Copies of this chain bind each other. A is one copy, B any other.
Amino acid sequence: MRDRERAVTVNSGTFRTGQGQGALPRATRRELDKDNPCAACSVREMTVCAPLDEEEQRRLRAISSTLKLEPGRMVFEEGAPAEYVYNITSGAVSLSKSLADGRRQITGFLYPGDFLGLTHNVAYAYTAETLTHVCICRFPRKKFEEMLLALPQMEHRLLTIASNELATAQDQMLLLGRKTASERLASFLIGLIDRQAARGGAIDVIDLPMGRGEIADYLGLTIETVSRTFTKLKKAGAIALPDANSVHIIGADRLRDLASGG
């Protein structure tokens, strides 16, 4: 039942295969960070809720290495030994969990400044894949944890981060368990806008680094339903779609009402 065989097919290109190859299906699309030379890929971008002090920066830099990844690459896979902790410098990453038959749930999209791979288990609990060109800082987990022992205020910040992520996860559970397709998409767009606004970005234009498939897997819908719902919101005058990866917010209030179940 459901989209089993089909999902396997859809995902086989990037999900099931290893890390070094793949068709890079979205490699040529317009990138948010295409012009970012990523030369200064450094821990300076890592804020951990508040700017790092000199001591913290120094210690982090001492154990970090920098990676550049193309779109559609796996950073790490669910179940693999959790040997590194990562922090995104530029680009966007998806986190996902999958069932054996290929059904996939994206649990979050990460942007610059976000951590991934923070876990207290031996293995990663989810798969992380790049959506765009990504520049990322990598820390050996063991050294990272040793550092935390010496910097308790750093651990306090991580707790704040985890606490916020937990709140976001609970919002997403409400979305997945109880919202209609229109409400889900509206919530998604409002979430992106609010995130952008909090970082000082635009409040009425969104550039989507992910495709319809990723949005569908994030919202617990199918590609077709996401597409239909975009059209519906467009016809209702709440948004405009100059192209598939850009959204203009026209009726922000209407979207917010929708997102909260109005």
Contact = CB atoms under 8 A, between A and B. Distances in A.
Interface of A: 1-2, 95, 97-101, 103-105, 107, 118-121, 125-126, 148, 152, 155-156, 158-160, 162-167, 169-174, 176-180, 217, 219-220, 260-262
Given A101-B261, A103-B261, A261-B100, A120 B164 contact: yes
A136 to B, nearest CB: 20
Given A2-B180, A97-B174, A165 B166 contact: yes
Contacts of A95: 170
Question: Which 4 residue pairs spanning A and B have beta carbons closest together?
Answer: A177-B220, A99-B261, A176-B176, A169-B169
A125 B162 contact: no
Query: How often does this chain occur in the complex, in copies?
Result: 2
A203 B118 CA distance: 31
Contacts of A1: 180
Nearest to A78: B170
Given A100-B262, A121-B167, A173 B174 contact: no
A216 B152 CA distance: 41
A155 B159 contact: yes
B166 A166 contact: yes
A19 to B, nearest CB: 21
Q: Which of A2, A160, A176 has the most CB of B within 10 A?
A: A176
